[in-house]
Amino acid sequence: MIRKLIDFYKQQLFFVNFASIFINPNYFSRKGLLKYIRKEASNLSGRLLDFGSGRKPWRSLFKVDEYIGVDIAESGHDHHDSRIDVYYDGRIIPFESNSFDSIFASDVFEHLFNLDEILDELYRVLKPEGQMLVTIPFAWNEHEAPYDFARYTSFGIRAIMERHGFEITRLHKTTSGFETVCQLFNTYIIENIFPKNKALRTLLMIVITGPLTLLAVLLNYILPDNKSWYLGMVLLAKKK
């Protein structure tokens, strides 16, 4: 029984549902990511490179012929539970040119100090007309210290990717303005006010931040949106 509860908790950290409102501190962030990754996943096919794969948390959303995870050994978190197939040195992706039909990179670009160099590498290993699906945070706290280097606006990331030969065909902002404010408020409370004990933190999330999140879900349907306030983006790009 306990094992099932632990597995359920780990699953809903990424694949949110109604219960996640009460036990996932990043509910709004994950809800938006899941919605738009699922929406665009069918555009990726063939041999897929998951760049910065970690545990491959979104793997089940992709119906591809081959799924290869690449990551760097030295990062802001350990890899004890990662599912990495190939490590790279932070500069050169160790595959031949035109090796992949599609690329997925989730919450990776902010951790790259040499994004221009890596975009050239991603362009090189992607086949002509290949598709790349990218998620990237905008309004979010520093994380995986000290390997958190940048935030990009929708205008900034579009300009950078186009400079390196990619055409962005769709760009989704993952949250409304109100959801963004609520998520940041919850994150602040949980990280700065709640105790460090995991069991007690979970109880307080159920009792305090859970009802606040549920109220925010309801209010979000009636309050006006502000398109310049958002937690992150999911974008689909094509190699020109």
Three-state SS string over 168-217 comes to EEEEEECCCHHHHHHHHHHHHHHHHCCCCCHHHHHHHHHHHHHHHHHHHH
Euclidean distance between the first and the last CA atom of the chain, given in angstroms as a whole number? 51
For residue range 5-14, list pLDDT tens digits in order.
667 667 778 9
Find the mean pLDDT for residues 102-129: 97
Domain contains 70: yes
**Order of strands, edge to edge, in the sheet holding 166-173?**
86-88, 66-72, 47-51, 100-106, 126-137, 232-239, 166-173
Q: How big is the chain by its Cα radius of gyration, in Å?
A: 18
- pLDDT score of 2 more than 70: no
Is 231:183 a contact under the CB 8 Å cutoff? yes
Q: Share the mean pLDDT of the chain.
A: 92
Domain contains 230: yes
**Both tokens assigned to 238:** 């094509």
Domain contains 6: no
- Percent of the chain at pLDDT > 70 equals 93
Identity of residue 176 = S
Domain contains 4: no
Q: What residues contact residue 126 under an 8 Å CB cut-off, 6+ apart? A: 49, 98, 100, 102, 103, 132, 239
Helix (H, G, I), strand (E, B) or coil at 139: coil
CATH number assigned to the domain comprising residue 177: 3.40.50.150
For residue range 42-99, list pLDDT tens digits in order.
999 999 999 999 899 999 999 999 999 999 977 655 556 678 999 999 999 999 999 9
Q: What angle do CA 225, 183, 226 make, to 5 degrees?
A: 15
pTM exceeds 0.75: yes
CA-wise closest residue to 29 among 124, 104, 115, 135: 135
Question: Which range marks the domain in which residue 184 is found?
Answer: 18-239
Domain contains 1: no
Cβ count near 199 (within 10 Å): 8
Domain count, the chain: 1
For residue range 206-239, list pLDDT tens digits in order.
999 999 999 999 999 999 998 899 999 999 999 9
CA gap 140, 109 in Å, rounded: 14
Domain contains 126: yes
